[in-house]
Structure 1
Amino acid sequence: MDELDSAILEHLQRDARTTNRELARKLGIAPSTCLERVRALRNRGVITGYHASVDLRALNRGVQALLSLTIRPLSREVIEGFKSYVAELPEVLSVFVIAGSDDFLVHVAVRDVDQLHAFLMDHLSQRREVVNFRSSVIYQHVNSPVVGPLTDQGQQG
């Protein structure tokens, strides 16, 4: 990953709809070079896809929460089964399998706190493997729109 690759990634993370010609112009390189670099980043798995950011409130999902869950027994089969189950629920945005006192962190977006409560009761408390869960309502969420490589010193470079 060199400086040109990093610059390409930065521009595409800010606006993935940028045309190859426009991206090449911004970077001061030939369009053919730009296209070759972007393809190489995709082929190496650095660029994993393109997406549209959406306003969750516009989708009637005004309340977000992080759910911390503990499951038992801890086995690969139980973890994989629960992960697959919860990832398919329409309220779920992200599922993290984590280390520590909790086993899962689940990010959900729902209409309101009543729907959050119903989700907890209908989808989590009914599961035998779930022995404990806590919910934390998200008041604000700040997302870093551009992620770059870290140097050995832990700083972007």
Structure 2
Amino acid sequence: MNIMDIIIGFILGSVEGLTEFAPVSSTGHMILVGHLLGFEGTVRATTFEVVVQLGSILAVVVAFWKRILNIVGLRKIETEDQDMGKLSYIHILIGILPFFLLGAVFYNFIKTLFSPQTVVVSLIAGGILMLVAEGFRKPRPTATTLDQITYKQALGMGCFNA
């Protein structure tokens, strides 16, 4: 490992950290920045992308550990957490179902989409769709917390994310 590897790791890690919780594609941004830095297509580059995204997943687990333990049934809801019980693993399964179905059907096609050119087009199209969706949003959200999300809303979020 040389100093350039450390710099690339810092840059890509920063891109992942800044975009993971924003409504944009953190993977897409990492693909673009990796391409600009010439860090792509190798086992090292792919492994780095997987590991840095595992860091983001770990951050979610740390931030929501009480809720996660509650969902999987390993934590009893305490008095001050009475509202933390309505979101269930069923919501999560319904929300990820569209990913599994589309992934199973279109796996080979999806693998061809991870090029910088496709990512640029997708990010622009996604940005336009977000602006259009913002114009159609209801004045009041129907769910203001995670615990108010219905199964139908979980499925809708899964479909739109997929």
For normalisation by structure 2, the TM-score amounts to: 0.27
Higher helix share: 2
Higher strand share: 1
For normalisation by structure 1, the TM-score amounts to: 0.28
